[in-house]
Structure 1
Protein backbone atom coordinates (compact mmCIF):
# COMPACT_ATOMS: atom_id res chain seq x y z
CA UNK A 1 0.00 0.00 0.00
CA UNK A 2 1.29 3.49 -0.82
CA UNK A 3 2.25 5.98 1.86
CA UNK A 4 -0.62 8.24 0.73
CA UNK A 5 -3.23 5.49 1.09
CA UNK A 6 -1.77 4.41 4.43
CA UNK A 7 -1.93 7.94 5.86
CA UNK A 8 -5.45 8.62 4.60
CA UNK A 9 -6.69 5.22 5.72
CA UNK A 10 -5.27 5.70 9.20
CA UNK A 11 -6.76 9.20 9.46
CA UNK A 12 -10.21 7.84 8.62
CA UNK A 13 -9.86 4.85 10.93
CA UNK A 14 -8.72 6.98 13.88
CA UNK A 15 -11.55 9.45 13.32
CA UNK A 16 -14.02 6.58 13.43
CA UNK A 17 -12.45 5.06 16.55
CA UNK A 18 -12.42 8.43 18.32
CA UNK A 19 -15.98 9.19 17.17
CA UNK A 20 -14.89 12.32 15.31
CA UNK A 21 -16.46 13.72 12.17
CA UNK A 22 -13.76 13.92 9.53
CA UNK A 23 -13.66 16.46 6.72
CA UNK A 24 -13.34 15.58 3.06
CA UNK A 25 -9.61 14.90 2.91
CA UNK A 26 -7.61 16.22 -0.02
CA UNK A 27 -4.18 17.78 -0.37
CA UNK A 28 -5.50 21.28 0.34
CA UNK A 29 -7.39 20.39 3.53
CA UNK A 30 -5.86 22.19 6.49
CA UNK A 31 -4.92 19.77 9.25
CA UNK A 32 -6.70 21.95 11.81
CA UNK A 33 -9.87 21.62 9.74
CA UNK A 34 -9.56 17.86 9.21
CA UNK A 35 -11.71 16.97 12.21
CA UNK A 36 -8.84 15.33 14.07
CA UNK A 37 -7.67 16.72 17.39
CA UNK A 38 -4.23 16.55 19.02
CA UNK A 39 -4.90 13.11 20.54
CA UNK A 40 -5.89 11.80 17.11
CA UNK A 41 -2.67 13.16 15.60
CA UNK A 42 -0.60 11.59 18.37
CA UNK A 43 -2.24 8.24 17.64
CA UNK A 44 -1.74 8.80 13.91
CA UNK A 45 1.99 9.51 14.21
CA UNK A 46 2.48 6.45 16.45
CA UNK A 47 0.59 4.17 14.08
CA UNK A 48 2.36 5.51 11.01
CA UNK A 49 5.72 4.89 12.66
CA UNK A 50 4.69 1.31 13.40
CA UNK A 51 3.27 0.71 9.93
CA UNK A 52 5.75 2.64 7.78
CA UNK A 53 8.81 2.33 9.99
CA UNK A 54 9.55 6.07 9.96
CA UNK A 55 8.88 9.09 12.14
CA UNK A 56 9.78 12.21 10.13
CA UNK A 57 9.37 14.38 13.22
CA UNK A 58 12.43 12.77 14.84
CA UNK A 59 14.52 12.24 11.70
CA UNK A 60 15.62 15.85 11.28
CA UNK A 61 16.03 18.97 13.35
CA UNK A 62 15.19 21.22 10.39
CA UNK A 63 11.64 20.01 9.86
CA UNK A 64 8.90 22.34 8.70
CA UNK A 65 5.67 21.26 10.30
CA UNK A 66 2.93 20.47 7.80
CA UNK A 67 -0.16 22.65 7.55
CA UNK A 68 -2.22 20.68 5.04
CA UNK A 69 -3.03 17.03 4.51
CA UNK A 70 -0.92 17.12 1.33
CA UNK A 71 2.10 18.48 3.21
CA UNK A 72 1.63 15.84 5.92
CA UNK A 73 1.55 13.04 3.35
CA UNK A 74 4.55 14.49 1.49
CA UNK A 75 6.51 14.59 4.77
CA UNK A 76 5.95 10.86 5.24
CA UNK A 77 6.66 10.09 1.58
CA UNK A 78 10.03 11.88 1.80
CA UNK A 79 10.87 10.17 5.08
CA UNK A 80 10.09 6.75 3.59
CA UNK A 81 12.36 7.47 0.60
CA UNK A 82 15.15 8.75 2.88
CA UNK A 83 14.87 5.67 5.08
CA UNK A 84 15.08 3.38 2.06
CA UNK A 85 18.18 5.13 0.70
Structure 2
Protein backbone atom coordinates (compact mmCIF):
# COMPACT_ATOMS: atom_id res chain seq x y z
CA UNK A 1 0.00 0.00 0.00
CA UNK A 2 1.32 3.47 -0.87
CA UNK A 3 2.35 5.81 1.95
CA UNK A 4 -0.32 8.34 0.92
CA UNK A 5 -3.03 5.66 1.22
CA UNK A 6 -1.76 4.63 4.66
CA UNK A 7 -1.71 8.29 5.71
CA UNK A 8 -5.30 8.87 4.50
CA UNK A 9 -6.57 5.86 6.45
CA UNK A 10 -4.74 7.04 9.57
CA UNK A 11 -6.17 10.56 9.15
CA UNK A 12 -9.72 9.23 8.68
CA UNK A 13 -9.47 7.09 11.81
CA UNK A 14 -7.85 9.96 13.72
CA UNK A 15 -10.79 12.23 12.86
CA UNK A 16 -13.27 9.53 13.89
CA UNK A 17 -11.59 9.29 17.30
CA UNK A 18 -10.90 12.96 17.99
CA UNK A 19 -14.03 14.62 16.52
CA UNK A 20 -16.53 13.35 19.12
CA UNK A 21 -14.13 14.41 21.87
CA UNK A 22 -13.45 17.89 20.53
CA UNK A 23 -17.02 18.76 19.56
CA UNK A 24 -15.68 21.16 16.94
CA UNK A 25 -13.73 21.19 13.72
CA UNK A 26 -10.68 18.99 13.91
CA UNK A 27 -7.31 20.48 13.03
CA UNK A 28 -5.63 18.06 10.67
CA UNK A 29 -2.11 17.20 11.77
CA UNK A 30 0.74 17.49 9.31
CA UNK A 31 3.86 15.34 9.32
CA UNK A 32 5.62 17.73 11.73
CA UNK A 33 2.82 17.80 14.33
CA UNK A 34 4.00 16.33 17.60
CA UNK A 35 1.77 13.45 18.67
CA UNK A 36 1.18 15.04 22.08
CA UNK A 37 -0.23 18.08 20.22
CA UNK A 38 -2.89 16.07 18.34
CA UNK A 39 -5.38 16.15 21.19
CA UNK A 40 -5.27 12.40 21.75
CA UNK A 41 -4.88 11.20 25.30
CA UNK A 42 -3.66 7.68 26.10
CA UNK A 43 -7.17 6.20 25.77
CA UNK A 44 -7.76 8.00 22.47
CA UNK A 45 -4.43 6.81 21.14
CA UNK A 46 -5.29 3.23 22.13
CA UNK A 47 -8.67 3.50 20.39
CA UNK A 48 -6.95 4.91 17.29
CA UNK A 49 -4.49 2.03 17.18
CA UNK A 50 -7.30 -0.55 17.59
CA UNK A 51 -9.27 1.06 14.76
CA UNK A 52 -6.18 1.13 12.56
CA UNK A 53 -5.60 -2.55 13.20
CA UNK A 54 -9.17 -3.22 12.01
CA UNK A 55 -8.90 -0.88 9.01
CA UNK A 56 -5.43 -1.84 7.83
CA UNK A 57 -5.60 -5.45 9.05
CA UNK A 58 -2.16 -5.30 10.65
CA UNK A 59 -0.47 -3.96 13.75
CA UNK A 60 3.01 -2.64 12.96
CA UNK A 61 3.95 -2.62 16.63
CA UNK A 62 3.65 -6.42 16.74
CA UNK A 63 5.39 -6.86 13.35
CA UNK A 64 8.39 -4.67 14.12
CA UNK A 65 11.52 -6.32 15.44
CA UNK A 66 12.55 -3.13 17.24
CA UNK A 67 10.90 -0.91 19.81
CA UNK A 68 9.87 2.50 18.49
CA UNK A 69 8.04 5.48 19.94
CA UNK A 70 6.99 7.87 17.18
CA UNK A 71 7.30 11.53 18.12
CA UNK A 72 5.49 13.22 15.23
CA UNK A 73 2.45 12.38 13.17
CA UNK A 74 4.79 11.78 10.22
CA UNK A 75 6.83 9.32 12.31
CA UNK A 76 3.61 7.50 13.17
CA UNK A 77 2.53 7.28 9.52
CA UNK A 78 6.00 6.17 8.42
CA UNK A 79 6.08 3.48 11.09
CA UNK A 80 2.78 2.06 9.81
CA UNK A 81 3.95 2.33 6.20
CA UNK A 82 7.40 0.80 6.79
CA UNK A 83 6.10 -2.13 8.85
CA UNK A 84 3.45 -3.50 6.52
CA UNK A 85 3.25 -7.29 6.47
TM range (shorter): 0.7 to 0.9
Runs of 4+ with deviation above 2 angstroms: 17-24
Separation in 2, partners of 1:20, 1:34: 14
Residue 2 (structure 1) aligns with: 5
**Kept in 2: contact 1:31–1:68 (CA 8 A):** yes
- TM-score, normalized by length of structure 1? 0.83
Structure 2, unpaired ranges of 5+: none
Query: Over aligned residue pairs, what C-alpha RMSD do you find?
Result: 1.9
- TM-score, normalized by length of structure 2? 0.83
Aligned residues between the structures = 81
Separation in 2, partners of 1:36, 1:65: 15
Structure with the bigger RCO (C-alpha within 8 Å, sep 6+) is: 2
Residue 79 (structure 1) aligns with: 83
Structure 1, unpaired ranges of 5+: none
